[in-house]
Amino acid sequence: MSAFDAAMATLLADSNMGSDAEWQAAAGGTWQPARVLLSTPAELVPGLGATSGRAIAIQATIRAADLAQPPRRGDLLRLAGTTYRVETVEPDPLGLTCRLGLGRMS
């Protein structure tokens, strides 16, 4: 485990930073427990005029090693009883974590 991976594991384990979640691959299967760091996007979607909205409801950073397979668009993440669909996946340059852009399921 690299120093960066150890630091991320420490942040995720901290009850003030990390949140419990469950992840499921788009292909189905069982829900897997995971820890994530949550954030909200600051940028608004351009072109929506006065009714500006956000394409992504929330973002979650997750350790790639905590998942059975790399996350993909269409996977599901459940947080505090609310299920979100993975809309975007941005791996970090070292491949240790992925930032997931999550959209609410309707």
**This prediction's pTM:** 0.80
CB crowding 25-50: b at 16 or more within 10 Å, else e: beeeeeeeebbbbeeeeeeeeeeeee
Domains and CATH numbers, the chain: 3-104 (2.40.10.210)
Alpha-carbon torsion (95, 78, 105, 37), positive or negative? negative
Give the pLDDT confidence of 24-74 residue by residue, as tens digits: 999 888 999 999 999 887 655 555 544 444 567 789 999 988 888 899 999
Task: Note the pLDDT of residue 40.
Answer: 81
